[in-house]
A and B are shown apart, each in its own frame.
Chain A
Amino acid sequence: MKPFQYRAPTLLSEALSLLASAGQRARALAGGTDLLVQMRRGLISADLIVDVKKVFELNRLDFDPSDGLTIGAAVPLCRICESPEVARHYPGLVDALSIIGSVAVRSRATVGGNLCNAAPSADSIPALIVHGATCTVASREGTRQVPVARFCTGPGKTVLGPGELLVSVHVPPPQPRSGARYLRFTPRHEMDIAVVGVAAWLELSEGLSTIANARIALGAVAPTPLLAVEAGASLVGRTPSAGAFAEAAALAQRVAAPISDVRGTAAQRRHLVGILTRRALEGALQRARGAEPDGRQG
């Protein structure tokens, strides 16, 4: 690893000035579970590391029934998963955040880091997408909002420009009669990277008989996590049924554009998109009806 400057500001303005001062040669450090590994391996080099763990705005974890959930970009995953409010109102998020890495990794790693690392297989991103989450991005010039679904632009690439910092992620307030589920498939149970990840979110109509709204997002089957728009739309207005879920699963398979690599072939990935979409929809439906699905993944 090459030598670099390390700064740990406490004020957001200071962090933004530091990032602006070094431009492309600066990197923000939160948990470091991706950044440090990539620096050691020589994949990333930086002159300035801005540790953002001391910045107040990046360490908020606030829930308000009418405002929703705000997750500071530097909040470690374990803190989010251990929050009773997150567990109660966003179990579909906990599905995703509680299976990233190991206990040790989750006590360092952050949602902000998972987003900025922009891996196609990032577990948090499909779950955030189906919840309709938005990123707050700041720079010295000001602040802008970017939907999570548009945050990643390619493997390892995001919308962040030089001097910009992901401050927080905002998840809209929980809707009544709604439920979400994230499932991933990995060859081993823990400490693994998704071969396929699928998040589903359903909102039922008042009588619980039809689907009022639905979103499905896929991970590890395209250069970025993907919102499967048509798959979700196909469910709107329909009665939840095996047939409707199978149709949505087939539409999800159609937008998936997987590659073959050491983790799995494209054919297996496409097949798994179908299975996991159906299972995630079943889990989301159970939650929308107030029940808890079987806890096992995949």
Chain B
Amino acid sequence: MTAGAVGESVRRVDIEAKVQGRRRYPQDFSLPGMLHAVVVWAGYPHARIRRIDPSEALAVPGVLAVLTHEDVPVNEYGINIYDQPVLASDKVRWLGDRVAVVVAETLRAAERARDLVRVDYEELPIVDDPLEAMRPEATLVHEDRRSNLLKHIYVRRGNVEEGFAAADVIVEGTYHTPFVEHAYLQPEAGLAYIDDEGRVTVICAAQWPHDDLRQIAHALALPLEQVREVVPAVGGAFGGREDISVQILVALAAWRLRRPVKMVWSREESIRGHGKRHPFHMRHRWGATKEGRLTAVEIEAVLDAGAYASTSVPVLENAVSFLAGPYAVPHARIDGYAVYTNNAVTMAMRGFGATQPPVGYELQMDRLAEALGMDPVEIRMRNLLEPGSIAVTGNRMPAVTSARETLRAAALAAGWREEPQGWRRPGASILRASHLRRGIGVACAYKNVGYSFGFDDRSTAIVELALASDGSIQSALVRCAAVEVGQGVTTVLAQLAAQTLGLEVSRVRVALTDTAATPSAGSSSASRHVFMSGNAVVKACRQALEKRDAALREESGATRIVAEATFRGHDVRRTTAYDIVDGHCEPHISYSFGTQIAIVEVDIETGAVQVDRLIAATNAGTPVNPRLCLGQVAGGVHMGVGYALMEEFIQQKGQVRTARLSEYHIPTVADMPRELESIFTEVPDPDGPYGATGLGETPTLPTAPAILNAIHDATGAWITELPATPERVWRALRGVPAQPAAPARRPCP
């Protein structure tokens, strides 16, 4: 009866149309009488604008308008704070600032005119290093602020001096992670028009369309009811579509000119125009007893926030809660700083402040293991958080805390043995060539599910049932603006509805996201839709069933039942902000845990690293759709491999040096581990729908530190700056002499 319900790997509901090329992505939409718009980008990473002269551009035949800051009713936007101009007025603060928009009858005319918009700049000194930017005499990115420091967040737990005094061993390390580009398949595109109800309507890719509305309405000084966003198929997001890209620009042009306006960014514009994952500078000092138990951690992290705030503050909040790793530690002093610079805006990207910390905390763990002569699995087992443990932020960990289960599953799969004296790594294996070294590395990581730190996270779903005359359910329609960005949420919501309603999944339809027809589900981020929107859909389905039963009892003859339900994170766990004194808080609604073990081959002559095998143990609670979960793991590992070995968005003096995908390398399938083994530990989340929880981000977190630890195991070299490019590995290895082949220098599988 419930074919395709929870636990089954049903086929994605959108897959056929996508494979056949029938699903339309934002750039595929056109309307009669449509105009084309292009952006005039900032000419410098930091400069004062003296004058903008559009006269030559306006003289190009077919050009209708050159919109500047003067045309924007309220010239500000921003996902957290309105610190970003829609169109730059007094100055530009990064190369992604938009100075003007040229609107023309044809794309060619618009592009020709773009080069003729004269902008008179006065160059300003650049601040491109967050550590420099923190100095009191540094150039200010925002002159209305007294310093470039956007936010400082800290945690004080116990007494670290006491903790270090009790330590038998102390290890220190500094770690650096780079800017990372989302590199989604589909560059930004949007089409805006005035719909038949007079609303400015934008067709575009988004992660939280209702939040886009707030920002569009604010900039255009329109009531919320007069803006609308429709989200068709989205070619990937990964956090990069949380912030506004083309939305306000096309809405403004369509509103001013009363004609449909389309804007499509090239790949180069996409790379220039949207934010990146935050680079972290991290400094760690950890103490432990000779039994391997943590006594104290002292951690400092500086985040480059780029030119505007975007979500840097919540990313920093998240990061500070994760910087000490999934470990119980009695004494902690943790400080995190987010700093404005003239670099690219930094924003959400798969992990949201949980991706960079493992590069520090998992290398620290291996350094401790090495200093103590302990097995890397054993030392982690002795420190991992478990249900009921107190985290550094003073909160008690919930029942879904499954770090140990993921570590155990991964370790066993990799050949570790649990012996009376502790966990023991597998033995040596044969190498293929004298210039290769093999190593194995372990990393654990964890991530929040849902929005944190007191945010009133919620998702609303409407379920409509079509009934036969006997009251049986013929079909169901789910309305919920949970954006399908490729992760499979539409399929999962259909499965959860099918399970709850006792229907075949083919009888459940999930409506396309349209703010005029689907209620806000919150953002497609924070691994939250399975948990938040899944709960909302299940709740709405249960209410619909109750209404149906009541209708049957009353013999009302109803053929249509509608129920609406909102699920609030607060109902599960009431999160709180960091305490002003000691930083203690209830940070997160729920959690996802994962462990990965990487086996790598390092070419010690060239520094090239190949991941031979990767074991990923992930907890998604009870998986709703195991195949889709595997897709998240494979995709997460892919991004993790890129993070570990090649991805680095490089800027010099605010100028982009990796402006194209031929310069900014993302891995191809040939760079993936030769063998990928995915294990789901299935520790249920009692608060999730049918025991499920989110896993969109967790699989990307342990990959890089597992690879770095494996490189160290193979060669003895610590790579502490991502990515571990051949050149960085080669430089770290200089002086390590070539040795004969098999057996490996150090035992490994």
A interface residues, Cβ below 8 angstroms from B: 185, 187-193, 262-265, 268, 271-272, 275, 294, 298
Contact, CB under 8 Å: A189 / B668: yes
Contacts A262-B650, A275-B606 given; does A185 touch B663 at CB 8 Å: no
A63 to B645, CA, bound (A): 42
Does B543 sit at the interface, judged by CB under 8 A? no
State which of B606, B645, B646 has its C-beta within 8 Å of the C-beta of A272. Answer: B606
Whole-angstrom CA separation of A263 from B667 in the bound complex: 15
Bits for B439-454, please: 1 = Cβ < 8 Å to A, else 0. Answer: 0000000000000000
Min CB–CB distance B161 → chain A (angstroms): 43
Closest chain B residue to A268, Cβ basis: B727
B605 near A191 with CB under 8 A, answer no
A187 to B665 Cα, complex, angstroms: 8
Q: How far is the CA of A193 from the CA of B661 in the complex (A)?
A: 12
What are 27 A-B residue pairs whose CB atoms fall within 8 Å in the complex? A185-B726, A187-B608, A187-B645, A187-B646, A187-B665, A187-B725, A188-B646, A188-B665, A188-B667, A188-B668, A188-B670, A189-B670, A189-B671, A192-B665, A193-B662, A262-B650, A262-B657, A262-B663, A263-B663, A264-B727, A265-B727, A268-B727, A275-B605, A275-B606, A294-B432, A298-B603, A298-B606
The chain A residue with its CB closest to the CB of B112 is: A2
Q: A185-B726, A188-B668, A189-B671 are in contact. Are A298 and B662 (CB under 8 A)?
A: no
Q: How far is the CA of A298 from the CA of B608 in the complex (A)?
A: 9
User: Does A188 lie within 8 Å of B730, measured CB to CB?
Assistant: no
Q: Which residues of A contact B730 (CB under 8 A)?
A: 268, 271
Using a CB–CB cutoff of 8 Å, the interface residues on chain B facing chain A are: 432-433, 603, 605-606, 608, 645-646, 650, 657-658, 662-663, 665, 667-668, 670-671, 725-727, 730
List chain B residues, Cβ under 8 A from A190: 668, 670-671
Taking CB atoms, residues of chain B closer than 8 Å to A298 are 603, 606, 608
In the complex the two chains form, is B658's CB within 8 Å of A262's CB? yes
Q: A275 — which chain B residues lie within 8 A by C-beta?
A: 605-606
Complex CA gap A191/B667 in Å reads: 9
Interface majority SS (helix, strand, loop, mixed), chain A: loop
Residue in A closest to B610 when the chains form the complex, CB atoms: A189
Please measure, in the bound complex, the distance between the C-alpha atom of A263 and the C-alpha atom of B662, giving whole angstroms.
Answer: 10
A185 partner, pick from B606, B662, B665, beta carbons under 8 A: B606
Closest 6 CB pairs of A and B: A189-B670, A190-B670, A268-B727, A275-B605, A190-B668, A262-B657
CA distance A248 to B657 in the complex (A): 35
For B650, the chain A residues whose CB sits under 8 A away are: 262
A214 to nearest B CB, angstroms?
Answer: 22
A263 vs B664: C-alpha distance in the bound complex, in angstroms? 10
Specify the chain A residue showing the minimal Cβ separation from B670: A189
What is the distance, in angstroms, from B522's C-beta to the closest C-beta of chain A? Answer: 36
**Interface centre among B608, B645, B657, B725, by most A CB within 10 Å?**
B608
Interchain nearest-CB distance for B214 vs A (Å): 37
Find the A residue at minimum CB distance from B659. A262
Checking B432, B606, B668, B726 against A191 with a beta-carbon cut-off of 8 angstroms, the contacting residue is B668
A84 to B230, CA, bound (A): 54
Query: Told that A264-B727, A298-B603 touch, could you supply 19 new A-B pairs with CB distance under 8 A?
Result: A185-B606, A185-B726, A187-B665, A188-B667, A188-B668, A189-B670, A189-B671, A190-B668, A190-B670, A262-B650, A262-B657, A262-B663, A263-B663, A265-B727, A268-B727, A268-B730, A272-B606, A275-B606, A294-B433
Cα distance A263–B658 in the bound complex, in angstroms: 10
Q: From residue B10, how far is it (CB to closest CB) to chain A in Å?
A: 32
- On chain A, the residues within 8 Å of B432 by CB distance are 294
Interchain CB contact (< 8 A) of A187 among B433, B603, B657, B726: B726
Please, which residue of chain A has its CB at the minimum distance from the CB of B603? A298
Q: Chain B residues near A268 (CB, 8 Å)?
A: 726-727, 730
CB distance from A142 to the nearest CB of B (A): 38
Cα–Cα distance between A192 and B726 once the two chains are bound (Å): 14
- How distant is A96 from chain B, measured CB to nearest CB, in Å? 17
- Cβ of A28 to closest chain B Cβ, rounded Å: 23
Q: Which residues does chain A contribute within 8 Å of B726, judged by CB atoms?
A: 185, 187, 268
**A203 vs B453: C-alpha distance when bound (angstroms):** 71
